[in-house]
C-alpha cells in the first residue's frame, strides 16, 4: 500500500505570500484534473497529479471537457474553497446555509453582544420606507439592550452561585442574550465561515441568482468573481436554467387560485406562544419492523418483502430482545447504523426564526420552509414575559407587523428583513431515524437552546410512541445515562479515552 497526503486547504494569505506570482498559478483544479483521469489512465495517481501540475492550462481544458462534455460533475468536488462571509443579514444567512454538502460556522447570537449592526436592504429605496424600516429596527434594538440588562439582572439573582467563576458569568449573560435576541430583526448582520467544494458552489450560484433578495444575488456575484480567477475550469454552469426558473410556475399559478389556509388579515393580535407551535409528525409504517427487515434482507439475501413478512411473523417478545441486545453497547455519541435510515419521519411545525436558524443546520434531512408570516403569531420567550417585558415586546411586534405590511405591498420579499427572530414560519422536515437520533441527542439536551429543545422533545416523544423498539434510546445526551439505566438496570458501558 502507498498513501500520500495529496493536498489540504491552507489560508489564501499564506498561499499569496509563498507564490511570487501572488498565487495566480496555485489552484485546486490540478487535483480535479488528476483524479478525473484515474478511471482511464494506467498511471499511478501521484504521477497523474504531477502531470496535472506541470501544465495547469492543459488541466483546465481537461476539466472543462470532462465536466462539460462528459458530464462528470463529481470531479469538481475535489476542489474545496473557504470563504469568510461578513456583514450579511440573518435573512441572507438562511439562504447561504441551506446547502447540505457544505460546512458552516456562524457567529452565534447566543454568545455575542450585538451592537445594532444591520443590513439595510437595497430594495428599500424610497426615503419614507427607509425611515420606517430603520425606526422599526432601532426600536427593536433598544428593546434588546433593555431586555439584556433586565434578564441579566434577574438571572444573576437566580443563579448567584454560578457567578463566582468567569465561565458561570458568561453562561448567565449568554442566557439573557439568548432570549433578548428574539426581538432582533432578520436584518441584523452576522458572519459565517463557509467551506464548500466547486460542485456545490456552482449549484449555490444557480440558486442564489434566483433569490428574491438583492443581497443574496450580490453575494453570488461576489463569490463568483473571487473564485473564477482561481478555478475557472470548475464553475461552468453558474446561471439558472429555464428549468430552475420555471419548473414550479404552472403549479404555483394554480395554487395561487386556491384559498389560503391562513387568512391574510386575521383580526386582532397574532398569538404569542412560548415555543414550537403544534407539531405534526408522520412516519413510515412499521418503522421497527422495517429496520429489522432491512438487516435480515441483506444478511440472508432475501428480498425486502420476504424479509418484512418474516419479521411481521416474529413474536413481539423476540423483536424486543433483538433491539435490547442491539442497544446494549450503545454510547451517547454512537451513530446508528444505516438500517435506521429505512424508517422516515416527517415533521410539520410552525417555528420561530430563532428556532429555524438552528434547525437549518441539520443537513442530513429534507427541510422545506414557507415565508415568515406575521399571521402565524410570534414566539414570546417565557423569561421576557416573566420579567414584565411581555407587553412591550408584543407592542414592538405589532409595530413591526405594521411596517412589514407596508413594505410587503411595496417592496415584496425585502419586507421580511424587518421581521424578528420571534416571527414564525411553517416548516416541513423529513429525517430518517438515524438522523433523528443525532438531532435529538444534540437538541433535546440540557445544553440546547429551549426553543429547538421544545421542538426536539415533542418530536422525540411522538417517534418513541410509533417506533417503541427502534427509538427506545432516543433522547438528549444529558438524559442518556438515565434512559440506559432505566432499560438495562445498569450504567452504560464505560469509554476508554486513550
Ligand atoms: C448547543 C449548541 C450550540 C451551537 N452553537 C453554534 C455556534 O455558535 N455556531 C455555529 O455555527 N453552530 C453552532 N451549533 C450548530 C452545530 O455546530 C451543528 O452545525 C448543528 O448542531 C448540526 O449538527 P451536525 O453538523 O452534526 O448535523 P448534520 O448536518 O445533520 O449532520 C449529521 C451528521 O452527518 C455528518 N456530516 C454532515 N455533513 C458533513 C460534512 N460536510 N462532512 C463530514 N460529516 C458530515 C456528521 O457525522 C454529522 O454529525 C451549535 C449546536 C448546539 C447543539
Lowest mean pLDDT among 68-82, 129-143, 313-327: 68-82
pLDDT at 266 over 60: no
State the DSSP code for 65: I
pLDDT tens by residue, 68-100 = 777 889 999 999 999 999 999 999 999 999 999
Residue with cell 489552484: 27
Q: Which atom of ligand 1 is nearest to the CA of 335?
A: 47
Name the H helices within 194-267. Answer: 198-208, 214-227, 242-246, 249-256
Give the Å distance between the CA of 328 and the centre of ligand 1: 26
Give the whole-angstrom CA distance, residue 16 versus residue 22. 5
* 3-state secondary structure at position 270: coil
Please state the rounded mean pLDDT for residues 133-141.
95
The whole-number pLDDT of residue 164 equals 82
Does ligand 1 lie within 6 Å of residue 363's CB atom?
yes
Buried b (16+ CB within 10 A) or exposed e, 13-51: eeeeeeeeeebeebbbbbbbbbbbbeeeeeeeeeebbeb
Give the Å distance between the CA of 55 and the centre of ligand 1: 39
Quickly state the pLDDT bin for 337 (edges 50, 70, 90). very high
Ligand 1 pocket test: pick from 354, 361, 438, 441 the residue with the most ligand atoms within 8 Å of its Cβ: 361
Enumerate long-range contacts of 292-298, CB under 8 Å, 24 or more apart: 292/319, 292/322, 292/339, 293/342, 294/339, 294/342, 295/339
Give the Å distance between the CA of 275 and the centre of ligand 1: 22
Give the Å distance between the CA of 362 and the centre of ligand 1: 6
> What is the percentage of the chain residues whose pLDDT exceeds 90?
80
Does ligand 1 lie within 6 Å of residue 334's CB atom?
no
Q: Which atom of ligand 1 is nearest to the CA of 192?
A: 11
Q: In what order do the strands lie in the sheet with 424-432?
A: 280-283, 344-352, 424-432, 366-372
pLDDT at 267 over 50: no
Question: Over the chain, what is the mean pLDDT?
Answer: 92
pTM value? 0.93
Give the Å distance between the CA of 361 and the centre of ligand 1: 6
* 3-state secondary structure at position 373: coil
Ligand 1 pocket test: pick from 82, 193, 347, 438 the residue with the most ligand atoms within 8 Å of its Cβ: 438
The whole-number pLDDT of residue 271 equals 63
* Cα separation values, 144 from 92, 353, 370, Å: 21, 16, 26
Closest C-alpha to ligand 1, atom 5 = 108
Does ligand 1 lie within 6 Å of residue 105's CB atom?
yes
Q: What is the DSSP secondary-structure string of 21-45?
A: TTTTT--THHHHHHHHTTTT-SS-H
Do 146 and 136 meet the contact criterion of CB atoms below 8 Å apart? no
Do 444 and 455 meet the contact criterion of CB atoms below 8 Å apart? no
Quickly state the pLDDT bin for 162 (edges 50, 70, 90). confident
Does ligand 1 lie within 6 Å of residue 100's CB atom?
no
The whole-number pLDDT of residue 159 equals 86
Q: Angle CA(314)–CA(315)–CA(321) in degrees, nearest 5?
A: 100
Residue with cell 434482507: 297
The whole-number pLDDT of residue 19 equals 77
The whole-number pLDDT of residue 112 equals 57
**Joined grid coordinates for residue 215:** 443581497
The answer to whether the Cα torsion of 10, 11, 12, 13 is positive or negative is: negative
Does ligand 1 lie within 6 Å of residue 77's CB atom?
no
Ligand 1 pocket test: pick from 85, 99, 362, 365 the residue with the most ligand atoms within 8 Å of its Cβ: 362
Does ligand 1 lie within 6 Å of residue 364's CB atom?
yes
Q: Which atom of ligand 1 is nearest to the CA of 358?
A: 15
pLDDT at 268 over 50: no
Please state the rounded mean pLDDT for residues 214-240.
95
**Joined grid coordinates for residue 95:** 439562504
Give the Å distance between the CA of 452 and the centre of ligand 1: 14
Quickly state the pLDDT bin for 421 (edges 50, 70, 90). very high
Does ligand 1 lie within 6 Å of residue 103's CB atom?
yes
Does ligand 1 lie within 6 Å of residue 438's CB atom?
yes
Give the Å distance between the CA of 106 and the centre of ligand 1: 11
pLDDT tens by residue, 16-49 = 888 777 666 789 999 999 999 998 899 999 999 9
Residue with cell 489560508: 11
The whole-number pLDDT of residue 36 equals 92
pLDDT at 265 over 50: no
The whole-number pLDDT of residue 280 equals 85
**Joined grid coordinates for residue 298:** 441483506
* Cα separation values, 374 from 205, 251, 364, Å: 30, 25, 29
Q: Under 8 Å CB-to-CB from 252, ≥6 apart: which residues? A: none
Give the whole-angstrom CA distance, residue 48 versus residue 32. 11
The whole-number pLDDT of residue 103 equals 98
Give the Å distance between the CA of 438 and the centre of ligand 1: 10
* Cα separation values, 298 from 42, 259, 301, 313, 463, Å: 35, 48, 5, 18, 25
pLDDT tens by residue, 441-477 = 999 999 999 999 999 999 999 999 999 999 999 999 9
pLDDT at 209 over 60: yes
Give the whole-angstrom CA distance, residue 491 versus residue 330. 11
Amino acid at each position: 500500500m502507498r498513501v500520500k497526503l495529496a493536498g489540504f486547504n491552507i489560508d489564501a494569505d499564506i498561499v499569496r505570500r509563498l507564490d511570487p506570482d501572488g498565487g495566480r498559478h496555485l489552484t485546486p483544479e490540478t487535483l480535479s484534473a488528476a483524479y478525473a483521469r484515474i478511471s482511464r489512465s494506467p498511471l499511478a495517481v501521484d504521477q497523474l497529479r504531477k502531470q496535472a501540475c506541470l501544465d495547469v492550462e492543459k488541466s483546465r481544458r481537461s476539466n472543462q471537457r470532462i465536466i462539460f462534455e462528459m458530464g462528470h460533475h463529481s470531479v469538481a468536488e475535489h476542489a474545496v474553497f473557504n470563504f469568510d462571509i461578513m456583514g450579511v443579514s440573518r435573512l441572507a444567512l438562511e439562504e447561504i446555509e441551506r446547502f447540505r454538502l457544505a460546512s458552516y460556522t456562524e457567529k452565534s447570537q447566543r454568545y455575542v453582544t450585538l451592537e445594532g449592526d444591520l443590513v439595510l436592504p437595497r430594495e428599500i429605496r424610497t426615503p419614507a420606507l427607509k425611515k420606517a424600516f430603520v425606526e422599526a429596527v432601532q426600536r427593536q434594538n433598544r428593546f434588546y439592550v433593555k431586555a439584556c440588562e433586565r434578564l441579566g439582572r434577574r438571572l444573576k439573582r437566580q443563579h448567584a452561585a454560578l457567578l463566582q467563576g468567569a465561565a458561570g458569568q458568561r453562561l448567565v449573560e449568554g442566557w439573557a442574550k439568548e432570549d433578548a435576541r428574539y426581538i432582533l430583526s432578520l436584518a441584523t448582520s452576522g458572519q459565517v465561515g463557509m467551506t464548500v467544494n466547486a460542485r456545490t458552489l456552482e449549484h449555490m450560484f444557480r440558486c442564489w441568482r434566483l433569490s428574491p433578495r438583492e443581497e443574496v444575488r450580490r453575494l453570488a456575484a461576489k463569490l463568483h468573481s473571487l473564485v473564477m480567477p482561481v478555478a475557472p475550469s470548475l464553475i461552468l454552469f453558474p446561471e439558472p436554467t429555464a428549468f430552475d426558473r420555471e419548473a414550479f410556475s404552472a403549479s404555483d399559478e394554480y395554487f395561487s387560485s386556491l384559498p389560503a389556509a391562513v387568512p391574510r388579515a386575521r383580526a386582532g393580535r397574532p398569538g404569542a406562544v412560548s415555543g414550537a407551535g403544534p407539531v405534526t409528525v408522520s412516519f413510515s409504517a412499521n418503522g421497527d419492523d422495517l429496520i429489522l427487515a432491512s438487516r435480515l434482507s441483506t444478511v440472508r439475501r432475501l428480498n425486502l418483502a420476504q424479509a418484512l413478512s418474516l419479521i411481521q411473523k416474529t413474536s413481539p417478545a423476540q423483536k424486543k430482545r433483538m433491539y435490547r441486545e442491539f442497544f446494549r453497547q450503545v454510547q451517547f455519541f454512537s451513530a446508528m447504523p444505516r438500517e435506521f435510515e429505512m424508517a422516515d419521519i416527517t415533521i410539520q411545525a410552525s417555528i420561530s426564526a430563532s428556532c429555524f436558524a438552528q434547525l437549518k443546520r441539520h443537513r442530513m434531512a429534507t427541510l422545506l420552509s414557507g415565508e415568515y408570516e406575521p399571521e402565524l403569531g410570534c414566539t414570546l420567550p417565557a423569561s421576557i414575559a416573566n420579567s414584565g417585558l411581555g407587553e412591550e415586546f408584543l407592542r414592538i411586534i405589532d409595530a413591526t407587523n405594521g411596517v412589514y405590511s407596508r413594505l410587503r405591498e411595496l417592496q415584496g420579499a425585502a419586507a421580511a428583513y424587518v421581521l424578528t427572530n420571534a416571527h414564525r414560519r411553517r416548516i416541513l422536515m423529513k429525517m430518517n431515524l438515524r438522523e433523528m437520533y443525532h438531532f435529538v441527542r444534540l437538541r433535546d439536551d440540557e445544553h440546547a437552546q429551549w426553543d429547538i429543545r421544545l421542538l426536539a422533545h415533542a418530536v422525540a416523544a411522538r417517534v418513541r410512541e410509533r417506533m417503541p423498539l427502534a427509538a427506545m434510546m432516543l433522547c438528549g445526551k444529558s438524559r442518556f445515562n438515565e434512559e440506559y439505566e432505566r432499560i438495562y438496570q445498569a450504567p452504560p458501558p464505560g469509554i476508554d479515552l486513550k
